[in-house]
Amino acid sequence: MPEQIITEVDGRRLKLGNLDKILYPGTETTKGEVLHYYTQVAEPLLAVLADRPATRIRWPHGVADLSFFEKNLPPGAPAWLPRVSLPSSGSRGTGDQVTYPVIGGLPELIYLVNLASLEFHVPQWRLRGDVPTNPDRMVIDLDPGAPAGLTECARLALIVRDRLADIGLDRCVPVTSGSKGMQVYAALPDAGTDEGQSSEAVRDAARELAQQLTREHPDLVVWKMTKSKRPGKVLLDWSQNTAAKTTIAPYSLRGKERPTAAAPRTWDEIERGAQETDSLRQLTFDEVMERLQADGDLFAAGLGTRC
């Protein structure tokens, strides 16, 4: 395979290099295969990324080597790549800003993946122009502490689903994270409008839920991040709803030993996973592509359909 090719993507000329470079040594998955995956899942992924500032994690030499978070637009980014400048969450009022890429189309996505951006993380709110709006979804992040795993996450996800339905959030979808745990996303009423809830209000509601479930299911749930409290339990991470926080985007790859991806799942799968130990596992990018072709966009469908 040539070291570098010039291709046109939706009218944009892109220079792609090192396509045969191995990014996942454990499976000998190449950069070319990673680019192929992102083109195959582009439609649902771009719907997730649209109008959200994107933070990336890059592995220039593959997942067996060093990685780094990147919030700012990379040096040398083309002028046509959309961007937004926002106050840095760590600036403490100093006026510092971060200029994020805003991924609205396939050329932007492919440009960033070509830089070995394997993971894409986004907040729970969208932009209106250059201004953040109120969040359009709540995310409940379920992070198991060994020896707990996806079985325990699935049991808690079902409890979370039912509790969210009790407060009127009955359009929700589970996503296995591609790492250790999973997330439950719930569509919010008046999503992204001035009438919708603020990020602070959504965060507080998620924290209250986490505290309540910790009291009701102390052998399964913990709401504090203290590591000593987490072995054998599932951390219900409410803090991902904070405006400054980001969560792995559904359909994004993960920088793990195998090319796993954040994968939307059906509630039938979660119910089975809660009953049958080890029946639920993280999915590889090949499996995610196959499921997308067979079942369509489960993420969009889940947020648009009552649980």
Residue 200 C-alpha from the chain's centroid: 20
Average pLDDT of the residues of the chain: 94
Percent of the chain with pLDDT over 90: 89
Rg (Cα) of the chain, in Å, rounded? 19
pLDDT for position 111 = 98
Q: What CATH number corresponds to the domain at position 106?
A: 3.90.920.10
Q: Are residues 141 and 184 located together in one domain of the fold?
A: yes
Exposure letters 166-180 (e unless 16+ CB within 10 A, then b): eeebebbbbbbbbeb
Q: Are residues 157 and 104 located together in one domain of the fold?
A: no
Judge whether 40 lies within some domain: yes
How far apart CA 234 and CA 93 sit, in angstroms, is 35
Considering only residues 123 and 95, tell me which one the structure prediction assigns the higher pLDDT.
Answer: 123
Confidence of residue 91 (pLDDT cuts 50, 70, 90): very low
Considering only residues 111 and 306, tell me which one the structure prediction assigns the higher pLDDT.
Answer: 111
Using an 8 Å Cβ cutoff, are 122 and 56 in contact? Answer: no
Residue pointed to by tokens 């400048």: 85
Considering only residues 54 and 228, tell me which one the structure prediction assigns the higher pLDDT.
Answer: 54
| Stated pTM of the model | 0.95
Asked if residue 147 has a cis previous peptide bond (ω within 30° of 0), the answer is yes
Give the structural domain span for 26. 4-122
pLDDT for position 94 = 52
Confidence of residue 2 (pLDDT cuts 50, 70, 90): low
Number of structural domains in the chain: 2
> Is 212 a residue whose pLDDT tops 70?
yes
Q: Are residues 118 and 142 located together in one domain of the fold?
A: no
Q: Are residues 238 and 159 located together in one domain of the fold?
A: yes
Exposure letters 209-225 (e unless 16+ CB within 10 A, then b): bbeebbeebeebbbbee
Q: Are residues 116 and 160 located together in one domain of the fold?
A: no
